[in-house]
Structures are given as structure tokens and as C-alpha cells.
Amino acid sequence: MLNRLFGALSGNGKGNVHMVPPNVVAEWIAAGTAIVVDVREPGEYASEHIKGALNLPLSTFQVTQIPDVAEGKKLVFHCRSGQRCGMAAAKAVEAGYQGEINRMEGGMIGWMSMGGAVVR
């Protein structure tokens, strides 16, 4: 169990958790294959977010809130810098979530640095 949690936090592929660069997430969004989950708090989400992202704040995060992921879709967690999405992934793995979770490297900071569009 500790290995699964460590994998979720580090994004090393254990526990079905993977680190993905923002440009790949942008490709998935453009292709319609990404389900983006923003684990920042509601105020952060309201100030700027990725279009179509679901807001499931880490402070109230429950594994049962994770949307169903259809075949061919990619579940992507992100936050501001990449730390909280690791905690959310760890919670999901600890609670028994069996699907793949992709953590966006650098969070919103990385997304905006590469020129990713946001809703304000």
C-alpha cells in the first residue's frame, strides 16, 4: 500500500498514476479525450481554469466524485503547481480507485507557461 501511495505522489507510474506534460494534455483536450479535474479550491477555479475542467477541491475530495471514464478517455488531475493533484491521486489510490490517473506536470503554472487557454 505504501508503494501505491508513493507512486501516486511521485507520479512514477505505480498505482496507475502518471505524470503528463501540459502540451500532451492540450492534445488530449483538442481530441476530446481528456476528462480534466481541477483540485484547486473554488476561488482559485473561479479566477481561472481550463475550459471544461471539473472542480473537485482537494479539501473536500472524495474518490466517489471522480467521473466515470469511458474507454479511450484520459483522466487528468491538476492544481496550481502539481502538488495537490498528487495528494488527490494518493487519496484516490488509497481508496481503491483502479483507473489510470494522469497528473499534469506543473499544474496551472505549467499550463499557462506553455500558452494554454484559460477561462477567466
Domains and CATH numbers, the chain: 2-113 (3.40.250.10)
Angstrom distance (rounded) from CA 118 to CA 120: 6
pLDDT band at 27 (very low <50, low <70, confident <90, very high): very high
pLDDT at residue number 15: 67
Q: What is the pTM of this model?
A: 0.88
| Predicted confidence (pLDDT) per residue in 45-95, tens digit | 999 999 999 999 999 999 999 999 999 999 999 999 999 999 999 999 999
Angstrom distance (rounded) from CA 29 to CA 41: 22
Angstrom distance (rounded) from CA 92 to CA 11: 13
pLDDT at residue number 13: 45
